[in-house]
Structures are given as C-alpha cells and as structure tokens.
Amino acid sequence: MDIRLATLAIIAINALVSIKGFNDSVFFDRYKFQVGPISSGQKDRMFTSGFLHVDVGHLFFNMFTLYFFAPVIIGHLGVLTFLIVYLISLVAGSLLSLLFHKNEPYYSAVGASGAVTGVLYAAILLQPDMRLGIMFIPIPLPAYVLGIGYMLYSIYGMRHQIGNIGHSAHFGGAVGGFLVTLLFAPQVFLRNPLIVLLMAVPILVLFVMERKRSR
C-alpha cells in the first residue's frame, strides 16, 4: 500500500462513518464517546467515537491535517507503523478523556482529533526541522515550538475547561503519538535529544499536576 492510498483509506473510513452519523442520530448517540455508557460497559465507544464528527467542517479540518502529516510518518516508518500510531493515539485520547471526566457521566465527545494530534506529534518528532505557519504570525515557526505550545495550551484548557473542545483527547493523542514514535524509532532521541526532551516537558507538567490534584 503506497503513502497516498494508506492516508486516503483512513480518510474514507472517517468520512463514511461520519456521514452515517450526520444522518442517523441513533447511530451517532450509540457510538459517540460518553462517560456514563462507557463506565457501564460500552467500551467500544472509546474507539468508534474517533471516527464520528459533529459536522462537515469538523471532519474536513481533521482530515486536512491528517492528509499533510501522515506521509511524514509513512515515509520514515512505513504504513503499518503509521496505522499503529493512528490507532494508539485515538485510544490514548479516549483514555485520558475518561480519566479527566470520569465523574461526569454526561460528558460526551466525538472526532479524530486525538488520533490526528498523535500523527502530528509523531511527524514533528521524525522531522523536527519542519516549519509550520499559524494565523496572525507572519513567520513560520519550527514545528516543535508549536507542538510544545499546543500541548501546554491543552493542559491549560483541560484544567480550565476552555471552550467546547476536547483538550484531554488532543493531549492524550499527542502523548500516544510521542511514545509510539519513540518505541518504533528510538534513533530520533539520538538525533535530536534536546527536542525530544523539550516535547516531554508538557507530559511531565501534566503528571505533576495530576499527582497534586489526586492527593
């Protein structure tokens, strides 16, 4: 399977499941991420919710991001590892969401954001010299700078519940992508140890915050 076909296959699955959800509220409600039903035994929601989206804009943004960053992982590590990064990041996003919202039975979410964020962070680790543009900043910034900033913003968003955004899924997905990439490509640490350590800082920050909160 070539790079483009692998990426398009994931996009097609997301599109088909999401379109089904757009037109079938019973289907959407049954397979979305929701803490209460998951706690009652419907664990499949932690996986299926990653292929549902609330609208076309939500679907397009996630798939647009995936289309540009998936080839970086496939080019470095191959199709199978890309699929592993994607799926582990998806589940990691759901697990962190469940951890942070375990006492909120009506909390619900959908979207491939966790999986896509994991792909983004894996791509940054593999190719940290990438430069990414962002609105209102005229000069493209190094990818790892934006990656670290986004993770810190996600921690802030989780703690303060900013907007109708699944910050915990984004962060969990990023952690999943980070760890799986180091597992399959430990050489990235030897090539760019400082960048890897810098990208680990937000993970340590969240760990310390959660230890304090749980005491």
Amino acid present at 195: I
pLDDT at 192: 87
Q: Can you tell me whether residue 160 is helix, strand or coil? A: helix
Token pair listed for 202 = 């937000």
What are the residues facing 109 on neighbouring strands? 33
Q: Scanning the structure block, which residue is given the tokens 């996630």?
A: 62
Domains of the chain: 3-214 (1.20.1540.10)
What is the length of the chain? 215
pLDDT along the chain (215 residues), means of 10: 80 96 95 95 95 91 88 92 96 91 90 90 87 63 74 69 63 90 93 87 75 56
The alpha helices in 101-142, defined as continuous H runs, are 113-126
Separation CA 64–CA 61 (nearest Å): 5
Separation CA 119–CA 11 (nearest Å): 13
Q: Can you tell me whether residue 162 is helix, strand or coil? A: coil
Pairing of strands 108-109, 137-142: unpaired
Q: Can you tell me whether residue 166 is helix, strand or coil? A: coil
Q: Scanning the structure block, which residue is given the tokens 């037109």?
A: 23
pLDDT at 164: 47
pLDDT at 163: 47
Contact yes or no for 176/93 (Cβ under 8 A): yes
